[in-house]
Amino acid sequence: MPDALYTSSIFTKPGGFTSGIEGPACDLQGNLYAVNFHHQGTIGKVTPQGESSVFIELPNGSIGNGIRFHSGGDMLIADYTNHNVLRVDMESQAISAYAHEPAMNQPNDIAIGANDIVYASDPNWAEQTGQIWRVGPQGQVDLLETGMGTTNGIEVSPDEKTLYVNESAQCNVWAYDLSADGDVSAKRLLIQFPDFGMDGMRCDIDGNLYITRHGKGTIAKLSPAGDILLEIELGDANPSNIAFGGPDGCTAYVTLQQTSNIECFRVEKPGRSWQLFQ
């Protein structure tokens, strides 16, 4: 495990996952999960020591993308091929459809609030458009926003009052006011990058956003006001997503698509999701 802040190093063996590696999320025991370990349609489990294995195989041609944990401890997975959010009982490994919405292009990344409301980005890559969906605690699905660019990374702020969504092709990061019921309003541009793309993103407990810069091979750390605080260099040009874990929530894990593995680096403050469900 690296000690120096913001210095990325290899965590899992290159080539262990497919180029569809995505998702990452940590459980309370410090295990990391990411999609498409060894072959498409799996969820991989990585121990705190970096040992990887297949955790589950998804049924019916499902392929995962974003992963988050519900407050009850169950894993939620965006299943983009079958337009589902799947739910996994972590003890029995039973898989069920938490939500299904045929009108989705594909649920891509997901975020979750302390109230267990899930927010899903929904890009149409061919047309470079996108939407945002809300999935309630009982799995009810509502369309929050349409007519956007290629919606991808999505995250809730630590105070639960802001929803962040990025658009990969347009290089925009948007912020919305977020109500207690999960409604969005007051859309505003947080930042537009001049080049390269974006994929997943996560907040730390101070509200700083860590954004994967797809094509650039960095993680951009932004203040809540949208100022770039620093960029962390990675060993792969195509990072797909990021999550926080480790014993103190201050280890950032990044999934990498060219080398099909995971790198990690230390940060100053724990991730929001890590602290939320401790």
CATH for 135: 2.120.10.30
Q: Considering the domain boundaries, does residue 254 fall inside one?
A: yes
| pLDDT in the model for residue 89 | 97
Q: Residue 275's pLDDT is what? A: 86
The answer to whether position 1 is within a domain reads no
For the chain, list residues with pLDDT below 70: 1-2, 278
What phi, psi does 245 have (nearest 5°)? Answer: -165, -145
Q: What gap in Å lies between CA 157 and CA 206, rounded to an integer? A: 9
* 246 belongs to a structural domain: yes
Which of 161, 215, 163, 162 is closest to 193 using CA atoms?
Answer: 215
Model pLDDT, residue 277: 75
The pLDDT, as a whole number, for residue 278 is 65
User: What is the structure's pLDDT at 276?
Assistant: 82
Residues 6+ apart with CB under 8 A from 225: none
Amino acid 218: pLDDT:
98
Give domain status of residue 160, yes or no.
Answer: yes
> What backbone torsions phi and psi does residue 140 show, to the nearest 5 degrees?
-70, 140
d(CA 172, CA 169): 8
Q: How many domains does the chain contain in total?
A: 1
